[in-house]
A = this chain, B = another copy of it.
Amino acid sequence: MLKLSTKGQYGVRAMFEIARGYPENPVTIKEISERQDVSVAYLEQILNKLRRAGLIKSVKGPGGGYLLAAEPDKISIAVILKELEGPVAITSCLDPEEGCARVEGCVTHLLWRSLGAKIEAFLETITLNNLIEQEHLLKGDRRDKIYRFDVA
């Protein structure tokens, strides 16, 4: 339950690859495709959304590619997922687009709202920079710090 679509998953992984090139090295779709094993055509869709949302910039021509539009510690996982999948909305009646007929006096409504808020709050605390840091820990020998996200 509570699955994330591949669009969201791939989007985060793509942003992670682009973040590695920050601030000078444009990363091409092809590179992302190869490293993350996602088709170029599908990535185009995803990166397009992220570019229009202002999270990344693109550089055309040979040697071009994608660049982060802000510093890696300013871009949260929450922002990326919101652009690709819309707001956290455990139930459809919590989606701002839809609305709910039974809001008043509905106990489960409160429950789902609280859960959604908790999820958002968590995802807002994690940034691309945290992912990069975490990878360094994984590849390095600082095994003592390894499950950092559990602490946050």
Q: Which of B16, B86, B149 contacts A114 (CB 8 A)?
A: B149
How many monomers of this protein are in the complex? 2
Are A138 and B107 within 8 A (Cβ)? yes
Interface of A is mostly: helix
Q: Determine, out of A4-12, A52-60, A65-73, the stretch whose residues face the partner at the interface.
A: A4-12
Are A5 and B1 within 8 A (Cβ)? yes
Q: Tell me the bound Cα distance from A88 to B82 in angstroms.
A: 20
With an 8 Å Cβ cutoff, the count of chain A residues facing the other chain is 47
Contacts of A110 in B (CB 8 A): 134, 147-149
Are B111 and A77 within 8 A (Cβ)? yes
Q: Which A residues are closer than 8 A to B by beta carbons?
A: 1-5, 8-9, 12-13, 16, 77, 81-82, 85-92, 105, 107-108, 110-119, 122-123, 126, 131, 134-135, 138-139, 147-150, 152
